[in-house]
Amino acid sequence: MSTHRPILAIYKDVLRSGRGADRVTAALANALAKRGYCVHLLTQQPKGEALSVTLDSTVTLHRVQIPKPSATLRFLNKLLLKSAGGARLLRSLPALDLTQRVSLKLQATLREIHPDLILSSGPNEAVDLTYAGPLPAPLLQLFHTYPPSAFASNKRRRADRLREALRHVAACQVLLPDFVPLLRPYTEAPCTAIGNAIDWPTDEPLPKPDNRDKTILYVAYFSKDKDHLTLLEAFAKLQRAQEWRLVLYGAGTPEWEHRLRQRTQDLGIADRVDFPGLLDNPRPTLLRAGICAYPSRVEGFGLALAEAMWCGLPCVGFADAPGVNGLIENDRTGLLAAPGPETFAAQLQRLIDDPGLRTRLGNAASDHIRKAYAAPVIWEQWDAFLRSLL
Residue 141 CA to residue 134 CA, distance in Å, equals 15
Does 209-373 carry CATH code 3.30.70.20? Answer: no
CA 224 from chain centre, in angstroms, equals 16
Half-sphere exposure of 277 (CA within 13 A, CB side): 2
Least confident of 117-121, 276-280, 386-390: 276-280
Mean predicted confidence (pLDDT) in 81-101: 87
pLDDT at 374: 97
CA-CA distance, 360 to 113, in Å (whole number)? 51
> Do the domains spanning 7-197+375-389 and 209-373 agree at the CATH topology level?
yes
- 141 pairs with which residues across the strands? 120, 172
Burial class (CB in 10 A: 0-12, 13-18, 19+), 40: buried
Overall average pLDDT of the 163-188 stretch: 94
Closest Cα partner for 125 from 180, 164, 179, 162? 162
Q: CA 89, CA 321: separation in Å to the nearest integer?
A: 39
Overall average pLDDT of the 219-232 stretch: 96
d(CA 298, CA 327): 12
Tell me the pLDDT band of 153, cut-offs 50, 70 and 90: low
Helix (H, G, I), strand (E, B) or coil at 19: coil
Superfamily holding 7-197+375-389 = Glycogen Phosphorylase B; (3.40.50.2000)
Tell me the three-class secondary structure of 191-257, residue by residue: EEECCCCECCCCCCCCCCHHHCCCEEEEECCECCCCCHHHHHHHHHHCCCCCCCEEEEECCECHHHH
Please compute Rg for the chain using Cα positions: 22
pLDDT tens per residue across span 316-365: 999 999 999 999 999 999 999 999 999 999 999 999 999 999 999 999 99
**Residue 167's pLDDT band (cuts 50, 70, 90):** very high
Domain residue limits, the chain = 7-197+375-389, 209-373
